Chains A and B, each alone.
Chain A
Amino acid sequence: QSVLTQPASVSGSPGQSITISCSGTSSDVGGYDYVSWYQQHPGKAPKLLIYEVTNRPSGISYRFSGSRSGNTASLTISGLQADDEADYYCSSYTTTSHWVFGGGTKVTVL
């Protein structure tokens, strides 16, 4: 069982926006700005989408955005595209100086 809770699946039609939640506690998501999000296509290594809650690395589309409210972080994908179909993981630094991941969310583009 993962420390961070994500929905198992989220779906949307092309062009729509979807949001994936990542629920933690004040000892991880809510306590530190070290929340990040990753996209993973089948058979590939994960790819960084968002770091430090809201920041996008160079080369990542503006369609991906991160936010946080209390102990829950969120990843929003706007203008959903076929290539966005993948697994998405959140992660966070924790009070015990560890790193934890969410269980992952499978995004389906209808």
Chain B
Amino acid sequence: QVRLVQSGAEVKKPGASVKVSCKASGYTFSTYNMHWVRQAPGQGLEWMAIFNPMGILTTYAPNFQGRIIVANDTSTNTVYMELSRLTSEDTAMYYCARDNNGWSVDYWGQGSLVIVSS
């Protein structure tokens, strides 16, 4: 079965960077794009990026352009999302989510909580 397993919670200081991983299994990794979506406490969903494991497409949301990098390791079927210059407003649950080849998500990771605090 399809599984997306994310890395654990992180606590970071303002100005630091965080790298969240998402290990995929149960399907052919290269044939589905991956989204990153975050959700601040008590808030709605916010799209961050879409990434193609074959390197064909990477698009970042304007709100994150310049401080987000999404990359992968095809040998381990893992996608990474790195967000830099963190502020308290980046405190959120971060999800990786598989695109079903139609700009919707059929599988979600369990989420990785990132807390930014001095």
Contact = CB atoms under 8 A, between A and B. Distances in A.
Interface of A: 2, 32, 34, 36, 38, 40, 45-48, 51-52, 57, 87, 89, 91-93, 97-104
B47 A98 contact: yes
A101 B35 CA distance: 13
A47 B106 CA distance: 7
Contact of A51 (B104, B109, B111): B104
B109 A45 contact: yes
A10 to B, nearest CB: 15
Contacts of A46: 45, 95, 105, 108
Contacts of B95: 45-46
Contacts of B35: 99
Nearest to A93: B103
Given A98-B47, A103-B44, A104-B45, A34 B103 contact: yes
Interface residues of B, number: 21
B110 interface: yes
B110 A45 contact: yes
Interface of B: 35, 37, 44-47, 50, 59, 61-62, 95, 100, 102-106, 108-111
A103 B45 CA distance: 7
Contacts of B100: 48, 51
Given A34-B102, A89-B45, A100-B47, 7 more contacts: A46-B45, A51-B106, A87-B44, A98-B61, A98-B62, A99-B50, A101-B44
A48 B105 contact: yes
B103 A99 contact: yes
Contacts of B45: 38, 40, 46, 89, 91, 101, 104
A84 to B, nearest CB: 19
A34 B104 CA distance: 7
A98 B60 CA distance: 8
